[in-house]
Every structure is written in C-alpha cells, then in structure tokens.
Amino acid sequence: MLWIILLVVVLGVLAYRYRGPLLAKILGQSESRVNRQINRRKD
C-alpha cells in the first residue's frame, strides 16, 4: 500500500517538473507557447 502512495507522489512531482513538454503534447501546441503561458505572471 505504501509503495502505491509513493508512486503517486513521484509521478506527481515528475508531471509538475515536466509540465511544459507534457502540456504541449496533450494540447498539441508548441512547447515555447505553453511555457510562456505557464511562466506568465498572475496578477
């Protein structure tokens, strides 16, 4: 049971770390465009 929780945590961290390329693949947009949207300041 513990290893399942650990696996979910690790996958979550990896997904957050590589969210630019992952979102670009999912949305079908260029990676630079997705990164600009992610890094834009939130006012």
Give per-residue pLDDT as tens, 4-43: 999 999 999 999 898 888 889 998 989 899 888 888 877 6
Dist. CA 35–CA 30, nearest whole Å:
9
Quote the pLDDT of residue 43: 63
Domain for residue 38, yes or no?
yes
pLDDT at 35: 86
Q: Quick check: is 42 in a domain?
A: yes
Q: What is the pLDDT of residue 19?
A: 87
Report CA torsion sign: 18, 32, 42, 26.
Answer: negative
Q: Does some domain include residue 39? A: yes
Does any domain span residue 41?
Answer: yes
- Its domain, for residue 29, covers 19-43
For residue 5, what pLDDT is reported?
Answer: 96
- Supply the pLDDT for residue 2: 93
Do residues 34 and 27 make contact, with C-beta atoms less than 8 angstroms apart?
yes
* The pLDDT of residue 14: 93
Give CA angle at 6 (4, 17), nearest 5°.
Answer: 120
- How many structural domains does the chain have? 1
